[in-house]
Every structure is written in structure tokens, then in C-alpha cells.
Chain A
Amino acid sequence: MNWLTQFFSRQRRYDELSEEIQAHLEEKVEELVAEGMSREEAMHSARREFGNVGLIEENCREVWAWPSLEDVFFDIRYGLRALSHSPVFAVIALLTIAIGIAANTAVFSVVNSVLLKPLNYPKSEELVALHQVAPGAEGLADFESGLLLSPSMYVTYSEHNQTFQSLGVWISDTANVTGLAEPEQVRTVAVSDGVFETLNVAPAVGRWLSPPDQVPNGPRRVMLSYGYWQRRFGGDPAVIGRNITIDSQPREIVGVMPNGFQFVDADFDLAAPLSFDRGKLILAGFGFHGIARLKPGATIAHANADLTRMLSIWMDSWSNGPGTNPQIYETWKITPMIRPLKQELIGNVGELLWVVMGTIGVVMLIACANVTNLLLVRVEARQQELAVRAALGAGWTRIVRTLLVESLMLGLTGGIAGLGLAYAGVRLLVAIGPSNLPRLNEIALDGRTLAFTVVLSLLSGLLFGLIPALKYAGPRSTLAPQNSGRTISVSREQHRARNVLVVGQVAMALVLLMCAGLMIRTFGALRKVDPGFADPQHLQVMRISIPDTLIAEPERVMRTQNAIVDKLAAIQGVKSVGFVSNMPMEGFDSEWDEIFAQDKVYSGDLIAPLRLYKSISPGLLQTAGTRLVAGRDFTWSEVDSIRPVVMISENLAREIWGTPSAAIGKHLREFKDMPWHEVVGVVQDVREKGVQDKAPEIVYWAPLVHNRFAPVVRTATFVIRSDRAGTESFLQEVSAAVWSVNSNLPLASVRTMQEVYDKSLARTSFTLVMLGIAGAMALALGIIGIYGVMSYTVSQRKREIGIRLALGAQNGDVLHMVLRQGTKLALVGVAIGICAALGLTRLMTNLLFGVTAQDPLTLVAVAALLILIAVLACYIPARRATLVDPMVALRYE
């Protein structure tokens, strides 16, 4: 007999079994009657000698396959029926679980997509970022990306390494595309040979850029991203071989990369080859990101040693031109610190996500505590039912299983509902998530997330089911029906379980509220910092780039920019206009170089400290609302005549000359063949990298300077102060004004400064929102927990309170008694919570600003809030207690 027929013939088999056992009993009775026993006595005796009929039938059924599965089906049916009998309980419990699981699933899907999933490249564990640090180069320590590679480093590494299968460098930039529609500024990535081989992702159409494409002055080729291909060419495969005009030069399209492909973190439209001219390379030019693929078996330690070895080859092979000493880089103490590519990509966001995951996990615990409380109450109410089942022959394991199946069902059903909510939650998270969150486009609910949800549902089901199940269905036989008599007060022990849960909830809620409170304080402290510009919602910013293929002569570039400023200033409602190489917090790479002061001595070959430098137009400071601390702004006539003047930041003036006013009239320059520039103005410190980071020392050059490398700033942020900033009509007039000067100039990154500012706070505001949500949920669940327990206690103690009232207790006494009990629980919870918070908040120190993780003010405020709300939650049940009518309460006796 195979299992299928066995399955279908089962019912018949069971019927036969029952019939057989009945026949047995009847035969026995008849025999006993024949021996002279009364029929009733005989029936009794027959059953006694036979044993527990139900249990035996069950044992017989168990012989025939899947007994446990059948029991589980039965338990599920039973559980569903039990739940449908108390819909309010079921709905409240399900909602609590569903919301908890939804929040956890949503956050986990982000953690999974960003932190856990391997990168979207084949064998991505072999990929590394060629990260280096240079502790000896002052100023470079501020670089988050460390010391990038110079082209000569790339050539050395790629020719002499022993540990990499392939390596390459890349740099992201922008370019203007004309001739397709309106001129458009697109994101480009310039890649050296070796980058595609390293990432090893096949193109969707066409081919990779190859070594012949990298030859200087060779064929001009380009690859498209999938998105750009779809957007501009409608996904037409015939695009291969066509030309596209980039920065006024035609380039042939050779391939399209597949959907979702990125160069590490660079979302791009076009990928162009980097063509290094070996003969012209120098040591310097540290601007390129290096990536490599390790040989199988090679470790990061091997690779670091390999790079260290090659650094001396590099210094011996190249120079910075005649008269320079290549060994100066030894003072930089360049040290390779190769990192897995994934770590490079994720950066410091991991910590933030784990903090959020942790807090949401605690919310889940609180939710479980609440449901456990509900279940405890429910099981107590069902004691009689359970006792009857036990009396009818159910073993205690069977009862525990029934209760567990019920709670697991609650968990799973809640999990399914939660999954739906989580789907919406993930979209919300992606929407409010920091826009600089790495791998944002990869976030999705995948198999691992589903598995997480299922496991979480089962675990929480087990967690909140186990306590009531073990407590009330343990092997001790306290389930006798007489125990559930009305007059017996609930034992102290049963109260203890609920009290412990409430204390735990309050403690956990306090920790979460503390986290949220610290984020609020952090946000407040950040908002108070003077960023170095004023009234950002009325500042319109946009990027305009003038490639040398469009306008070659530096003077003409500056005049074009000057003309744009004049045209923009003429727009109605514009107060002032200026431009700058980049505004603070815009997120573009800043430029650094050595700066020498005339009256300082720089010993021997040592290079001067590196300083961040920017180019700014006259009027920019006034437009942005950046204060001059001493001296004056540039004038356009100085710019036109290329007068050697410069401005510096207040902290730089203090560092070199002591006070801002002492700096006025002093001189500095960037390198030897540059004339000395007179300091004419000292500018307030500006939070260049965001308000949470220290303001760097900055040198402000005029937009046209004596500098053979970069006499003019070709890509600049134009800044317009106007009350009309950000409006549609204003932006139309702005584009028209720019195009009236040169119709080939696209506008890019068009935003108000407020958006830039908000974006720089995105990480903090995201954390704030997430912890705020977690804190609010914890608070709400905690209140429900206290309220539930106090209400239940009051209803259980109705008779006792009635007796007290009948014996002369005043309403006030009863009120106080209940309030005192609730407050005591809250106080214990708060005390434990404070201890836990003092330990746990240390984990989020790096997310805080202007406040310590143990901030006493926040702690006191949160504790007071929690106690106050707990007292309020107790007040309603306490009031109800005073309304107990002694006569009604006692009538039950």
C-alpha cells in the first residue's frame, strides 16, 4: 500500500478501529453482566480495564503515518477556532506583531541589500580598492578617500605587481553632450585599461573599451550606461558605431553596459577611456580611484606588501620635473591600506544601519512582551478549557503544543501581514533614506529577507508562546477545574510574570527614547552651527562647465563667466550673483595643494602643508552671505588685470599669522614660479564638508590667476540670491540668460542651497526619523503594556477593592493604591532602563554631534516623560477601581 492510498483510506481505518474498540467494550460488558454484575457497574468496569479510549485510539492512529502532522493540522484548526472566538484579542495581537515584523523586515532588507549581499560583480570577494593613506602629508588626513593614485602610480602598479589579476584606475567627472536635444551635462567616468577586466561585467551590447582605445590622440570612443542608452536612444542596438558629440568632440559608441552596472559607487551616463601619455607623466596628480582583482590565494596583506615594494620603484622611476626631489614623498609616509571593495563602497553607513536595526529589533522585543502579556491573560481565562482537555486525556505536552501552535500561528499570520506592510515600508525607507546611501538602487525584498521574516515570525511566535505555555500547562497538575473558581485571587506568582514583562518593556522603551532624544539633540546642535552661508532657501545654485574644446583661452572662459553673471544679475528679483569652484556641502571633490607664506621658512626639501583651495568671483561672498572677517573682497577690475591678490579663511590666518587682521597685506603662493599674492581679505570659516565636520583652512583664489596648470576654473557653481529661487519661472529665465551668452552650455545640479544643506544633514535626519519612529512605537507599546496590566489587575482585584471600600477605605486610598503599584513598576523599569541606556548609547557615539552619549539632560527628560506617561496610563484603571460598587463586588461571594 503506497502512502497515497494510505492517506485516503485512513478515515475508513479509523472508523473501523472505533467500531472494533466499541465491540470489545460491549463484549466485555456482556460477559461481566453474565457473571452477575449490574449493567452500569459492568460498563464502568469494562472502561476501567480497557484504559483511556481516546488516548488508545490516538495511539493507534499514530501508528499510521504522519501522526504529528495530523495533530498539528488539528491544532491549527483548533487554534483558528479559538482565535475567531476572541476577535479583539486576535486583531490587537496580530496588528502588534505585523507592525513589529514589518518594521524589522523593512530595515533588514536595507541591511541585507547594503551590507550583507555581495557586490554585483562576479567573484566580488576578490575585488579590492587600492586605498592608501599619507599621514605625513598634512591636510591629506582630511581626505575621506585617503591618498588617491596618480597616473604614474597606476602605470607602476600595473606593470610591476605580483598579487593582482588586473588593476585599473578611474575618475568621475561631467561632460556636456550636444547635438541630441538641449545641451545636457552628463555624468562621466573615465577609466584606464584594466578597469573592465577587474570588474568583469560583460557589456549588454557591443564591447568594452579596449587598450587601442586608450592610446593618446587615438580613436575617440565611448561606452553608454544602460539608463542613458534607454533615455537618449530608446535602447536601440543599432547605436553601436554611431557618433555622439561630447564636449564638442565626436566620439564613437562601442558598447553599452548592462542595467544596474556601476563603477563602484559611481552612477554614470558615459564611460570614456583615460589615455595617459607615458612620456609626460609625473609623480604627482593624486586624483584617481584604484581598483584591483586579487589573484586567487593572494590576501590583502600580500597585496599591501606588494604595493609597499612598488612605491619605491615608483619614486625611482618618475619625477615632478627638473629641479624637484622625488624623495620628498618619503616624508608623506605613503602607506597602502587596501580594503575590500565592498567595505570601500559601504563606508561608515554600516554603523548607522546596525544602530537602526538594533533599535527596531528592540521594538520587536517590546511588541513580543505585549503579546505575551495578552496571551498570559488569555491562557488564564482559558484555564478551565485547558483543564477539561487535560481531564479528557490530553497529555501536558499536547496542551503545550496546542498553545504553541496557536502562538506560532499568530506569529506567522502577523508575519504575512507584516510582509505586505514591509513592502510599503521599504519604499518609504528608500524615499527617506540618505540619498548618498550606497547601493540604494539594490534595495529590495529578496529571498534572504523572506527567510528572515519567516524566522523572525516563528521565533517571536515561540517567544511569546513559550512563557504562557510553560506557565500554565506544565507537568504539575494545577489545572484542576476547581482552581479557576471565582473567589480565588490571582496568585502573586502569576502577577510576577506580567510585572516582569512590563518592567522590561519600560526599560527597553527608555533606551529607545534615549536614542531618539540624543538624535533630536544632535539635530538641534547641527542646525545651530553657522555653516558659512546665510538664508539658503533663497540661494539658487547650478553648475556650468566650459570645456576647453568649446572655449580654449582662459581669458575668454573668465569673460564668458563674467557675462553670465551680468546676465543673471539682470533678471528681475535677483539681488546678487557670483560663482565659485564649488559651494560648501555640494559633495564635489575639493582641490588641495601646498601653500607657502612669504614670511615663513620651509626647511630644505620639505613641502609646505596642503591646503584646500577654491576660486571665487567678486561678489560671491556677499551673495552667499559669507562674512568677511577682515579686509575686502576681490573686484572685477583686479580679476580682469590678473592682479596677484588672494583671500584666506579665518582659521588659516590665525594659524599662520595669529590674527585675521595681521594677515592682511601678507603674501603667499602655491609654487615657485607663481608670483606672491597679497592677502586682501579674511573670510569666516566655512563648513565645507558639512556642519558636523570641522571647517577646513581654505585659500580663495580669484577666478583668473597666474597658474600654468589651472589659470581658470572651468567648472563652477553659479550662485544667485533671489526671493524667486527654486521657482519654475525663475529657472526658465535663468536658462535663457545663460544660453543668451552661449547656447552650448548645459545647466547641471540645479538646486537651492537649502536642498544642498538638507542633503548634507540627510544621514542625521534619516537616523532621527528612524529612531524617532522606533521610540514612538516603543512608547506606545509600553503604555499599552502598563495600561493592560493595571486594567487586568484592577478587574482581578475588584472583590478585594470592594471589601476595602465596604470596610471604609476612601476613594483616594484606592486610587493611590493602584497608582502606587503602577508607578512602582514604571520606576523599576526606568531605573533598569537608565543603566542599560548608559551602556548602550555608547554604541551610537559616532552618530552624535554636540552631545555626549550619556547626556544627563536627555536622560532626565526621557525618564520624566516615561514616568509621567506611565502614571497617566495607570490613572484610567485606578479611576475605574474607585468606581467599584462594594455591593456588586461582594454579591459574587
Chain B
Amino acid sequence: MTKPMQRDLFPGALEMMILRTLKRQPMHGYALVQQIKRTSNDLLEIEEGSLYPALQRLLKAGFVKAEWGISSTNRRVRTYKLRPAGAKHLEREVSSFERMLKGITQVLAPGEL
């Protein structure tokens, strides 16, 4: 069975990765999953489906917009695009994440205990 993604990610992490990926270029759901998996070198085990509730949340918050269109492989897909509000949100999230990561790293750093 698949593992629930919450075990590996903190709340908001998936949204952050989606926004970051979309910042590079608009994509549809399937491509988005593959892209995230690929860029994380498959280190993160993500249940593919868990992407969709996160996308819905971003849609609702107005961070992304969605449009139906035809993909490069000639399928009818819904393509997600980053909106300015989403970009701003991403910036904020990333900086706060970096602060957090820095803190955690310092605590975990060897020799300080």
C-alpha cells in the first residue's frame, strides 16, 4: 500500500513545491507530479493523488488558475498557471522555510551538544 504523504512532508510543503514548479512553467496535474518526483530524485514518496486536494486549495486561495487545453501529447488536460498572488505567497513561504531549516540544521549540527 502507499504511504500517506503526511509522514514525509510537513503541512504546506506540497503546496510550496507545486508553486515553485509552476513558477518555472504552467503544467497540468500529471506532469506536475512527474516533475516534482523527478526533481526530488524520487527522494520524496508522494502519493500521486494527494496532489489534487493541494491544487484545489491553491485554486481556492487564488494562488493559481486553471485552464483546459490540449497537452503536448495531444490530450485534453487542465493546465495550472501561477498567479502573482501565488508568486508572492511562494516567496514568503520559502523564506520562512529557509529560516526554519536553518534553525533545525543548527540544532542538528554535530559537535554542538
Knowing A49-B47, A51-B2, A51-B47 touch, does A23 contact B52 (C-beta < 8 A)? no
Query: What residues of chain B lie closer than 8 Å to A182, measured between beta carbons?
Result: none
Complex alpha-carbon distance, A52 and B77, angstroms: 21
Query: Is A27 among interface residues, defined by CB-CB distance under 8 A?
Result: yes
* Distance of A59 Cα from B53 Cα, bound (Å): 6
Show 25 residue pairs from A and B whose CB-CB distance is below 8 angstroms, ordered by the A residue: A16-B68, A17-B52, A20-B29, A20-B52, A21-B52, A23-B30, A23-B75, A24-B29, A24-B30, A26-B75, A27-B30, A27-B75, A48-B2, A49-B47, A50-B47, A53-B49, A56-B49, A56-B50, A56-B53, A57-B52, A59-B53, A60-B53, A60-B56, A62-B53, A64-B56
Tell yes or no: B23 within 8 A of A by CB. no
In the assembly, what is the distance between CA of A48 and CA of B1, in Å?
7
Which positions 54-113 of chain B face chain A at CB distance < 8 Å? 56-57, 60, 68, 73, 75-78
Beyond the given A20-B29, A21-B52, A52-B49, please list 15 additional residue pairs across the A-B interface where CB-CB is below 8 A: A16-B78, A17-B52, A17-B56, A20-B78, A21-B29, A24-B30, A24-B33, A27-B30, A28-B30, A49-B48, A50-B48, A51-B48, A56-B53, A57-B52, A59-B52
Are the CB atoms of A50 and B49 closer together than 8 Å? yes
Q: Smallest CB–CB gap between B70 and chain A, Å?
A: 12
Q: How many residues of B contact A (CB 8 A)?
A: 20
- Counting contact residues on chain A (CB < 8 A from B), the size range is 20 to 34
Nearest 9 CB-CB pairings of A with B: A51-B49, A56-B49, A63-B56, A59-B53, A51-B47, A50-B49, A60-B56, A50-B48, A27-B30
What 1/0 flags go to B25-52 for Cβ under 8 Å of A? Answer: 0000110010000000000000111101
B52 adjacent to A56 (CB under 8 Å) = yes
Enumerate chain A residues within 8 angstroms of B48, measured Cβ to Cβ. 24, 28, 49-51
How far is A428 from B1 in the complex, measured between Cα atoms in Å?
64
What residues of A have a CB within 8 angstroms of the CB of B33 in the complex?
Answer: 24
Q: Chain A residue with minimal CB distance to B58?
A: A63
- How far does the Cβ of A567 sit from chain B's closest Cβ, in whole Å? 95
Shortest distance from the beta carbon of A6 to any chain B beta carbon, whole Å: 9
Q: Which chain B positions have C-beta within 8 A of A24?
A: 29-30, 33, 48
- Contact: A21 with B49, CB < 8 Å? yes
B2 touches A64 (CB 8 A): no
Give the CA-CA distance A733 to B107 in the complex, in Å.
Answer: 110
CA distance A49 to B50 in the complex (A): 10
Q: Mark A1-29, 1 if CB is under 8 A from B, else 0.
A: 00000000000000011001101101110
B2's closest neighbor in chain A, by CB?
A: A51
CB distance from B11 to the nearest CB of A (A): 14
Contact with A along B1-29 (1 / 0, CB 8 A): 11000000000000000000000000001
Q: List residues of chain B with CB within 8 A of the CB of A62.
A: 53
Separation of A863 and B51 alpha carbons in the complex (Å): 66
Residues of B within 8 A of A28 (CB): 30, 48
B-chain residues with CB within 8 Å of residue A20 when the two chains form the complex: 29, 52, 77-78
Interface positions of A from 578 to 607, Cβ below 8 Å from B: none
Cβ contact of B52, chosen from A48, A49, A60, cutoff 8 A:
A60
For B57, give the chain A residue with the smallest CB separation. A63
Contact between chains at B60 and A64 (CB < 8 Å): yes
For B73, the closest partner residue in chain A by CB is A27
Given the complex, which residues of A lie within 8 Å of B30, measured CB to CB? 23-24, 27-28
Bound-state CA distance A27–B27 (Å) is 14
* A64 nearest CB across to chain B (Å): 7
In the bound assembly, the distance between CA atoms of A48 and B3 in angstroms comes to 10
Contacts of B47 in A (CB 8 A): 49-51
Chain B: which residue is nearest A30 at the CB level? Answer: B73
Q: A23-B30, A49-B47 are in contact. Are A63 and B2 (CB under 8 A)?
A: no
The residue of chain B having its C-beta at the shortest distance from the C-beta of A28 within the complex is B30
> How many angstroms from the CA of A50 to the CA of B47 in the assembled complex?
6
Q: Which residues of chain A from 45 to 80 have any CB-CB distance to chain B below 8 Å in the complex?
A: 48-53, 56-57, 59-60, 62-64
